[in-house]
Amino acid sequence: MSQPLIPIVRCLYNRGYCELDVSQECRDKYKELFLEDLPEEINCCRSNQNLIKVIHLLGVEACSGPRTALRIDWIPQEMEEYLIVNDYDGQETISIDYNEAYANVLHDLMKHNCECTRQTNYLMGEGWSDAAQCDCIPQDAREKYQRITYIREKMRGLPRRKINELPDTNVFIYEL
């Protein structure tokens, strides 16, 4: 099955040893360009593409707050709700919780009540391919499962990139 391009967005995180923050210069430039203030607590702005444009414009070093080391990475927009920010003494890493995404598909699938869904042996591991052949399983559950698998596979193939390196436009779609 052919999959559509994966929309990806840039996401901000901190590799320094303190809370995520940006410099006053970055805040001033943001207000100048977008006519609004950034919130004091910018954790809610991790995927704010306007903020990321300012960081791209001024540079990561100029926008990093005291003791912060801002980093930007690509995440699949469809999986944004599954973003996990791991924090170790303020030093962050980001990842997508694909297991939670799969669990949501299985939860939706379990709402479908037939003899197939009562048999749990196909719900785990390799048995899913047998279940995918069942005509009574809702088509959207199959498609969601396949889409998550496709995104996961392609994101694994997307190496960590610097802010100026762009992903493959044959697989991903994005705005700069």
- Are 143 and 74 in the same domain? no
Is there a single domain that holds both residue 60 and residue 130? Answer: no
Provide the residue range defining the domain that includes 58. 6-96
Q: Give the domain-ending residue among 79, 96, 113.
A: 96
Is pLDDT of 131 > 60? no
Does any domain span residue 104? Answer: yes
Asked which of 26-30, 116-120, 140-144, 163-167 is least confident by mean pLDDT, the reply is 116-120
Number of domains composing the chain:
2
Q: Is residue 113 scored above 80 in pLDDT?
A: no
Q: Are residues 136 and 56 in the same domain?
A: no
Task: Give the percent of the chain with pLDDT over 70.
Answer: 81
1 belongs to a structural domain:
no
pLDDT-based confidence at residue 120 (cuts at 50, 70, 90): very low
Q: Specify whether 57 is located in the same domain as 79.
A: yes
**Number of neighbouring beta carbons within 10 Å of residue 27:** 19
Identify whether 156 is part of a domain.
no
Does residue 28 belong to any structural domain of this protein? yes
pLDDT digits (tens, 9 = 90+) for 26-83: 999 999 999 999 999 998 999 999 999 999 999 999 999 778 899 999 999 999 999 9
Residues 55 and 20 in one domain: yes
Global confidence as pTM: 0.79
CB 8 within 8 Å of CB 75? yes
Provide the CA 117 distance to its chain's centre, in angstroms: 30
Based on the domain organization, do 26 and 92 belong to the same domain?
Answer: yes
| 123 within a domain of the structure (yes/no) | yes
Say if residue 89 is in the same domain as residue 124. Answer: no
Q: Is 117 helix (H, G, I), strand (E, B) or coil?
A: helix
4-18, 34-48, 154-168: range with lowest mean pLDDT: 154-168
Please check whether residues 74 and 127 belong to one and the same domain. no
Query: Could you tell me if 74 and 13 lie in one domain?
Result: yes
pLDDT of res. 10:
92
Residues 81 and 126 in one domain: no
Rounded to whole angstroms, how far apart are CA atoms 46 and 18? Answer: 15
Mean pLDDT computed over 2-22:
92
Q: Are residues 89 and 131 in the same domain?
A: no
Helix ranges, the chain (H): 24-34, 49-58, 60-63, 98-111, 115-118, 128-132, 139-156
**Boundary of a domain, candidates 81, 96, 111:** 96
88 lies in the same domain as 118: no
